[in-house]
Chain A
Amino acid sequence: MSIQQFINKELIFTKLNFNSQRELFHYLYDKAKQGGFVTDDFLSRLTEREKIFPTGLKLGKNNVAIPHTDAECVTKEFIAIATLNTPVLFRLMDNNAEQADVSLVFMLGLNNPHNQLEVLQELVGMIQDGAKVNQLVQSSSREEMYQALNGAALRK
């Protein structure tokens, strides 16, 4: 099992522009819904969960967020990836009194995560790899991002 199996080209978005987290979530939900990945209540539950248990991670140069919600809202598993031209504010996972400018978002649509340790570890490994995060943030097209996610561009 590898992260590639969860990444769909149709759910990769680069250099998006939003004024708020709400707009970003709405956009990603619309795309996931169109592709048949989520139920109708995914957006409201994602938003609600983010409010109570935020998912922003302060990493220094490029901050990341991993919004996700309950398993029953996911009909087909996926990981959506979006980079933001103008960063969007997320509250921090370990402190909801603090916010960070996030420019890379992994929206996780998992419904059987206990069996997906490898996928999640791969994702966490990517988040912890500053060069990789930078490469993803710099990607200017869906194709470039897809290549970067597959590691091809890093293997020089």
Chain B
Amino acid sequence: MTKKILVACGAGIATSTVVANRVENLIKDNHVDAEIEQCKITEVKSKQSGADLIVSTTILPTKYDIPAVIATAYISGVGMDKLDAKILSYLN
């Protein structure tokens, strides 16, 4: 079944655009059947049902029912490989 990933940032503008692209390449390269939706972190709460994973570039303002990963590494460049592995571990 196709998994659904929510890629979120504070304003839903700048950083999630970069991260969504990175995650898209990651799932393509690893042949993961998943789709991505980009949104504001404040929208995640209402969108989480039906999704499998939250990838956020910003701090998480609340607790969610599905796993959430903070992906600032894709912006800073520090620890990107580890983050790749972590995201994949939730999708396999």
Residues of A within 8 A of B (CB): 49, 52-54, 57-60, 66, 68-71, 92-96, 108, 110, 113-114, 116-117, 120-121, 124, 127-128
Contact = CB atoms under 8 A, between A and B. Distances in A.
A113 B13 contact: yes
Given A52-B61, A96-B59, A114-B38, A68 B13 contact: yes
B6 to A, nearest CB: 15
Interface residues on B, range: 20 to 34
A108 B74 CA distance: 18
Give 6 closest A-B pairs by Cβ, nearest first.
Answer: A53-B10, A128-B77, A94-B72, A113-B13, A53-B58, A57-B76
B18 A117 contact: yes
Given A94-B72, A95-B59, A127-B75, A117 B11 contact: no
Contacts of A116: 17
A68 B10 CA distance: 10
A114 to B, nearest CB: 6
B37 to A, nearest CB: 12
Chain B interface mostly helix, strand, loop or mixed? mixed
Interface string B40-79: 0100000000000000011101000000001010111110
A121 B77 CA distance: 12
A58 B11 contact: no
A49 B18 contact: no
Given A49-B10, A68-B11, A69-B11, A93 B17 contact: no
B14 interface: yes
Given A52-B10, A128-B76, A93 B57 contact: yes
B56 to A, nearest CB: 9
7 contacts: A49-B10, A52-B10, A70-B13, A93-B59, A110-B14, A120-B15, A127-B75
Contact of B18 (A58, A93, A120): A120
Interface string B73-92: 01111100000000000000
Given A66-B14, A108-B14, A127-B75, A93 B58 contact: yes
Given A57-B75, A127-B77, A94 B13 contact: no
Given A53-B10, A59-B78, A93 B41 contact: no
Residue of B10, B13, B38, B58 with most chain A CB atoms under a 10 A cut-off? B13
